[in-house]
Amino acid sequence: MNDLAAGQPALDLDLPEYYVNRELSLLQFNLRVLEMAMDERQPLMERLNFLLIFSSNMDEFFEIRVAGLRNRMETNTGLPAADGMFPEEVLKRISEITHEAVHRQYHILNDILLPALAAEDVHFLKREDWSAEQAEWVKRYFRDQVYPVLTPIALDPAHPFPRLVNKSLNFIVSLDGKDAFGRSTGLAIVPAPRSLPRLIRMPDNISNNGDCFVFLSSMIHAHVSDLFPGMKASGCYQFRCTRNADLEVDEDADDLASALKGELLSRRYGDEVRLEVADNCPRHLTDYLLNKFDLSSEDLYEVNGPVNLARMFTDVQRPRLRNTPFTPKVPAIIKNSENIFETLDQTDVLLNHPFESFSPVVQFLAEAARDPKVLAIKQTIYRTGTDSEILDHLETAARNGKEVTAVVELRARFDEESNIEGARRLQEAGAIVVYGIVGYKTHSKMILVVRRSADGIKRYAHLGTGNYHVKTSKLYTDYGLLTANEDLCQDVHKIFLELTGMGKPARLKQLKHSPFTLHKSLLEMIEFETEQATAGNKARIIAKFNSLTEPQIMQALYRASAAGVEIDLIVRGMCCLRPGIPGLSENIRVRSIIGRFLEHTRIHYFYHAGDEVVWCSSADWMERNLVNRVETCFPITDEKLKSRVIKEGLEVYLRDNMQAWTMQSDGGYERVSNDPDDVENNVAAQQWLLDRLS
- Alpha carbons 113 and 43: distance in angstroms, whole number: 11
Of 82, 68, 65, the residue nearest 26 (C-alpha): 65
- Tell how strand 476-483 and strand 349-353 pair up: antiparallel
Work out the number of other CB atoms within 10 angstroms of the CB of residue 499: 20
Decide: 461 and 446 in contact? Cβ < 8 Å.
Answer: yes
Cβ atoms 585, 612 nearer than 8 A: no
Task: Measure the CA–CA gap between 632 and 498, rounded to whole angstroms.
Answer: 13
Is position 443 annotated as part of the catalytic site?
Answer: yes
Q: Return the closest-CA partner of residue 547 out of 590, 483, 582, 501.
A: 590
Category of 439 on φ-ψ map: left (φ > 0), alpha (ψ -120 to 50) or beta = left
Q: Return the ∠ at Cα 15 (arms to 11 and 20), rounded to 5°.
A: 120
What angle separates helix 256-267 from helix 416-429, to the nearest 10 degrees? 150
If phi > 0 it is left, if psi is from -120 to 50 it is alpha, else beta; for residue 503 that is left
Q: In whole angstroms, what is the distance from residue 195 CA to residue 586 CA?
A: 54
Q: Give the contacts of 38 (CB within 8 A, at least 6 positions apart).
A: 47, 108, 112
CA distance 139 to 137: 5
In 3D space, the residue among 233, 236, 219 whose CA is nearest the CA of residue 282 turns out to be 236
Return the DSSP state at 145: I
Q: What is the dihedral of CA 365, 369, 374, 378, to 10 degrees?
A: 60
Q: Of these residues, 221, 223, 443, 513, which one is catalytic?
A: 443
Active-site annotation, residues: 443
